[in-house]
Amino acid sequence: MAELDRMLLRYVEVAYPAAEEAERRNFEGLLELDDNLLWSYLIGYLEPAEPDVSRLTTKIRKLASHRT
């Protein structure tokens, strides 16, 4: 899923360097998810149960939409 790659790499490029340790751990947790679930979170079709992870997915989505 090329769009998924682009969204994740965009986050790593722009936001990861300034991210707190907890956010980095949450991001690594997201990488463990299967593609379909991760994609559903990132496009906002589903919302992660944990508020911190939900904030992170929203951030990734916003970063991706700012690029285009």
User: Between 17 and 51, whose beta carbon lies closer to other proteins?
Assistant: 17
User: Between 35 and 45, whose beta carbon lies closer to other proteins?
Assistant: 35
| Smallest separation, CB 68 to other proteins (Å) | 18
Establish if 24 lies at the interface with other proteins (CB under 8 A): yes
Which residue is associated with the tokens 């991760």? 38
Q: Which of 20, 26, 27, 51 binds other proteins (CB under 8 A)?
A: 27
